[in-house]
Amino acid sequence: MDDMSQFREMFFEEAQEHLETMETFLLDYDPEGEPDIEALNSVFRAAHSIKGGSDIFGFKAMTGLTHVMENLLDSARNQELFLTNDLITVLLETIDLLKIILNNYHEEIEIDWDEVESGKTRLKSVLQEAHDVQKEAVQKSPVQEEASELTASDAEDEGFGFFEQEIVDANDTELEDEGFGFFEQEVAGSNDSALDDEGFGFFEQETEEINGSSGLEDEGFGFFETASLEEETAEESQGYGFFQERLETDMASSSPSDQQSKEEIHPSQGNQMPSAVSTTKLTSAKEDKTPVVKGKAAAESKSSESASIRVETVKIDKLVNLVGELVITQSMLNLIGSEAQESIAEKMQTALTELERNTREIQEAVMSVRMLPISFVFNRFPRLVRDLSNKLTKNIELVIEGGSTEIDKNLVEKISDPLTHLIRNSVDHGIEPPAERIAKGKPEKGVVKLIASQRGGEIVITVSDDGAGLNKERILNKALEKGISLPDPLTDAAIWLLIFAPGFSTAAEVTDVSGRGVGMDVVRRNIEALGGRVSIESNQGVGTTFEIRLPLTLAILDGMCVENASQVFVIPLVNIVESIQPLESQIKVMQNRQLLWVRDEYWPLINLEEALYGGQHPVNISESIVVLVETAKRRYGLIVDGLLGQQQVVIKSLERHYRRVKGVAGATIMGDGSVALILDIESLVSSQSLELEEEIDHVILT
Amino acid sequence: MSSLPNSSAVHSVTKEFLAFVLGDETYALDIMSVKEIRGYEPVTKIANAPNYIKGVINLRGDIVPIVDLRIKFGVGEPSYNEWTIVIMLNIKDRILGIVVDGVSDVMNFEEEDIKPAPEFGAAFDSRYLDGLAAVDDLMVIVVDIEALVSSEELGLFDTVDTV
């Protein structure tokens, strides 16, 4: 059953997505406002798909739990139950539990049934409670009340029991059609607002009947609920067929006749070719996703299946590598083309220009395949903030902006942990308790902002809060206590950077949220490992902002090729401020070091040859080119022999076959096949020259 | 049972070695770690590298380091001409090239042909030697190339540094 394992994988992936969908919708749900039926429908559908899918694979723990959940959601979307904040919390906890169970099934770890049972009980009890409370509060019609009670007790409790019984009944194929027909009718009813109450009532009654005895409805319902793998393939497919119908009915109950005909087709297909079962299964899961976005349109166009495909990342990585090689070959051709004879030179040039454009487009297209919106990472934070603020009894709102900013897939996975740390930090240490905020004259509700944007070749992510700000005194005391050497001079920026030192935490008390001081140094390490930088801005009483800058992609870089001592180097374009040919009068000397006076600022000069290979290499600066470069921490002028031009280069790792080299970010292959080093502006200069730089800052400041 | 007393000798593992020359000495390394043999070509110097690491070259899209063992161990004259040979090695999934004065032969040694090396005598530390083997009058120094290349002394790979 190799096929089966493949579909299992599929199920795990999709279930994961469904769970995330549910979480997102629940987090967005406003318990105080008008019930958002559309959102509830989406959550319901997601729960339902998981239930269906898990049942197919015999994951009883998931099926049971989602069934109870589904009941609750069903009453909510039929407006018989109002989702309160407490209810949402329980639902979110259930989603967490489902995630654990899903993982257990995936890793084939024993399921903790006690946990599952208690999860179910918890759900049921809140449902019951909510019903009791709301029944008293809102005087409902008798029909509704009856229905609610049933939802709370009978339907759930029996959830599993009856549907095992159903499987037996399900073998009876003759009754299928009636069963289904009935069911469809019921759904159609429930979608129609006028018939809402009756429709639902009917549904509940039906359930009751099922519990009591067998009947026509019995089978119908059974089919809908069941699709157990242990059954014969035929049953499976029939069960399945119905399941799918059900989804479609849900989406667009407007065309019942259409479904009626499909319904007839499905079971027979299943009977003839067992393999078709699995295919249909996948289809349904996909179709189920689409309505979230497209709504009813999804049901009309079957083509939505082919709108996206899943591809292994390895394949994409290979494509990216190949495109890298193509870029190199293309620049190789450019080089040869420039030597072409008069007669063909012009044609050659046109063709080469065409090739260059095409190559660039291919490259962009391939890179875009790897790009994901950063909301993939951001979406998990509303939950984090909600849970944390509940736990800390703070009132905090998370504002997310720029979720559609695209970022390389590799970065998406790796940026999640650092961001989690920063947000926890803001929530726990940044935002003050409500009483303190009011005392300070701030609004009671604290705001944590998470903003992503693209600036040039960089992605900038900021995490800011309107909390107390960093406490300079406490940081300094802590640093002394921990024996961390203090920076000199003590600028604000330098003090803030102290919190990134290992083992540093200024929280007065360690909570289980944060404060153990393991986080911040890991944050910086992780970000720097991605080629990014992090900086802090903080104002006492106003708030703290962490700014993370990341490269757009890890594979290709826009660079300036420079020549020095007949060797070619690449300087990342993002670091370059400008390149100048300095005049004698602009060069000053301080402590035997040369400085360049440009744009009303002194720039320390670094001799590239000396920085890379050591020793003394005196150059006549006024005959060289100075490239002014800048990073978050440093700025200086780099002395080189000449500029060769701007070019896109493919970053090749030196570590693959060698090791990391200070001052070098990687290597690339030039058009002629030779290797050029890509300079790492940040680590190129030694700490000595940095000291000088700071002194200069100091001089300018004082 | 006792009918085959010499079975171990008869079925002894024969390994193939590539013999190369450094100065006046003949060395040999396990041929399984050899990827290819090519002529010396200009390299790109690397920053902050010891002098025996000549630089890196482009080997069909891979950036690989070139090490001159003659400089590292002070044998022979580090000269580069059209006869200078680079042996490209593939060790632990990493590629590197070593510059040698020449490649002489492929030799077959059985395990007991390789005698333990004395503590001195070869330019290499005995940690990186499998031993000595005699071929007619010639003494061949069998190098444990994997140990040599991954040694901290050569500093080719990052030591356990998981930052």
Higher pLDDT, B154 or A378: A378
Domain boundaries, chain B: 12-149
CB neighbours of A139 closer than 8 A, spacing ≥ 6?
none
Mean pLDDT of A23-39: 77
> What span, in angstroms and rounded, lies between the C-alpha atoms of A582 and A596?
8
Mean pLDDT of A387-414: 85
Mean pLDDT of A88-109: 83
Does residue B96 belong to the interface with chain A, where contact is any CB pair within 8 Å? Answer: yes
pLDDT in the model for residue A450: 92
Q: Which residue of A has its CA nearest to B66?
A: A658
A334 catalytically annotated:
no
Indicate if the pLDDT at residue A270 is higher than 80. Answer: no
Mean pLDDT of A348-357: 88
pLDDT in the model for residue A618: 76
User: Is A675's CB within 8 Å of B44's CB?
Assistant: yes
User: Phi and psi for A627 in degrees, rounded to 5?
Assistant: -100, 115
Least confident window among A400-409, A497-506, A629-638, B145-154: A497-506
Higher pLDDT, A560 or A131: A560
Does residue B44 belong to the interface with chain A, where contact is any CB pair within 8 Å? Answer: yes
User: Is A655's CB within 8 Å of B56's CB?
Assistant: no
**What are A178-202's pLDDT values in tens digits?**
434 344 444 433 444 433 443 343 4
User: Is B63's CB within 8 Å of A656's CB?
Assistant: yes
Higher pLDDT, A269 or A489: A489
**Do A162 and A208 contact (CB within 8 A), yes or no?**
no
Indicate if the pLDDT at residue A274 is higher than 70. Answer: no
Least confident window among A331-335, A358-362, A527-531: A527-531
User: Is A652's CB within 8 Å of B46's CB?
Assistant: no
**What are A198-238's pLDDT values in tens digits?**
334 344 444 344 444 443 444 434 344 333 444 444 444 44
Please tell me whether the interface predicted TM-score (ipTM) of this complex is above 0.90: no
Indicate if the pLDDT at residue A441 is higher than 80. Answer: yes
Does residue A35 belong to the interface with chain B, where contact is any CB pair within 8 Å? Answer: no
Mean pLDDT across chain A, nearest whole number?
70
Closest CA to A200 of A292, A23, A71, A369: A71
Q: Is the peptide bond before A489 cis (omega within 30 degrees of 0)?
A: yes
pLDDT band at B87 (very low <50, low <70, confident <90, very high): very high
User: Is B63's CB within 8 Å of A653's CB?
Assistant: yes
Q: How many helical (H) and strand (E) elements, i.e. helices and strands, does chain B have?
A: 3, 10
Does residue A510 belong to the interface with chain B, where contact is any CB pair within 8 Å? Answer: no
**Do A460 and A496 contact (CB within 8 A), yes or no?**
no
CB < 8 Å to A662, chain B: 47-48
User: Is A675's CB within 8 Å of B62's CB?
Assistant: no
pLDDT band at A134 (very low <50, low <70, confident <90, very high): low
CB < 8 Å to A649, chain B: none
Indicate if the pLDDT at residue A173 is higher than 60. Answer: no
**What are B31-43's pLDDT values in tens digits?**
999 999 998 888 9
CB < 8 Å to B33, chain A: none
User: Is B47's CB within 8 Å of A663's CB?
Assistant: yes
> What span, in angstroms and rounded, lies between the C-alpha atoms of B124 and B26?
12
pLDDT in the model for residue A286: 39
Q: Which residue of A has its CA nearest to B88?
A: A657
Indicate if the pLDDT at residue A260 is higher than 80. Answer: no
Distance from the B96 Cα atom to the nearest Cα atom in chain A, whole angstroms: 7
pLDDT in the model for residue B13: 78
CB atoms within 10 A of CB A33: 7
User: Between A and B, how many residue pairs show a Cβ–Cβ distance under 8 A?
Assistant: 75
Indicate if the pLDDT at residue A701 is higher than 70. Answer: no
User: Is A664's CB within 8 Å of B95's CB?
Assistant: no
**What are A471-484's pLDDT values in tens digits?**
888 888 888 877 77
Strand order in the sheet with A675-679: A642-650, A556-564, A567-572, A675-679, A664-669
Higher pLDDT, A191 or A432: A432
**Do A609 and A617 contact (CB within 8 A), yes or no?**
yes
User: Is B44's CB within 8 Å of A677's CB?
Assistant: yes
CB < 8 Å to B64, chain A: 657-658
- DSSP strand pairing (A625-630 vs B53-59): unpaired
Q: Determine what percent of chain A falls in helix, strand and coil, rounding each to the nearest 5.
A: 60, 15, 25
A48 catalytically annotated:
yes
Give one word for A127, left, alpha or beta, with left for phi > 0 and alpha for psi -120 to 50.
alpha
User: Is A667's CB within 8 Å of B63's CB?
Assistant: yes
> What span, in angstroms and rounded, lies between the C-alpha atoms of A605 and A621?
10
> What span, in angstroms and rounded, lies between the C-alpha atoms of A68 and A51?
10
Selected catalytic residue, list A14, A41, A67, A70: A70
pLDDT band at A488 (very low <50, low <70, confident <90, very high): low
A70 catalytically annotated:
yes
User: Is B44's CB within 8 Å of A676's CB?
Assistant: yes
Q: A190-198: long-range contacts (C-beta < 8 A, 24 or more apart)?
A: A190/A78, A191/A250, A191/A253, A192/A253, A196/A78, A196/A79, A197/A141, A197/A143, A197/A144, A197/A147, A198/A143
CB < 8 Å to B62, chain A: 652, 656-657
**What are B53-67's pLDDT values in tens digits?**
999 998 877 889 999
Does residue B35 belong to the interface with chain A, where contact is any CB pair within 8 Å? Answer: no
Q: Which fold has domain B12-149?
A: OB fold (Dihydrolipoamide Acetyltransferase, E2P) (2.40.50)
Does residue A615 belong to the interface with chain B, where contact is any CB pair within 8 Å? Answer: no
pLDDT in the model for residue A58: 78
Closest CA to A440 of A537, A508, A542, A509: A542
Higher pLDDT, A320 or A205: A320
> What span, in angstroms and rounded, lies between the C-alpha atoms of A404 and A372?
8
pLDDT in the model for residue B33: 92
CB atoms within 10 A of CB B107: 19
Indicate if the pLDDT at residue A589 is higher than 60. Answer: yes
Mutate to test the interface with A, among B56, B93, B96 (most CBs of A within 10 A): B56
Mean pLDDT of B47-58: 87
Mean pLDDT of A604-622: 81
Give one word for A517, left, alpha or beta, with left for phi > 0 and alpha for psi -120 to 50.
left
User: Phi and psi for B112 in degrees, rounded to 5?
Assistant: -80, -5
pLDDT in the model for residue B80: 86
pLDDT band at A250 (very low <50, low <70, confident <90, very high): very low
Does residue A673 belong to the interface with chain B, where contact is any CB pair within 8 Å? Answer: yes
pLDDT in the model for residue A232: 41
Higher pLDDT, A656 or A169: A656
Closest CA to A36 of A86, A1, A88: A88
Higher pLDDT, A583 or A276: A583
Does residue A328 belong to the interface with chain B, where contact is any CB pair within 8 Å? Answer: yes
CB atoms within 10 A of CB A368: 10
Mean pLDDT of B125-141: 83
Burial (Cβ within 10 Å: 0-12, 13-18, ≥19) of residue B112: exposed
User: Quick one: which H or E segment has residue A598?
Assistant: strand A593-598
Q: What angle do CA A315, A317, A320 make, to 5 degrees?
A: 115
Return the residue matching tokens 């009670």: A149
pLDDT in the model for residue A551: 74
> What span, in angstroms and rounded, lies between the C-alpha atoms of A555 and A542?
39
CB < 8 Å to A521, chain B: none
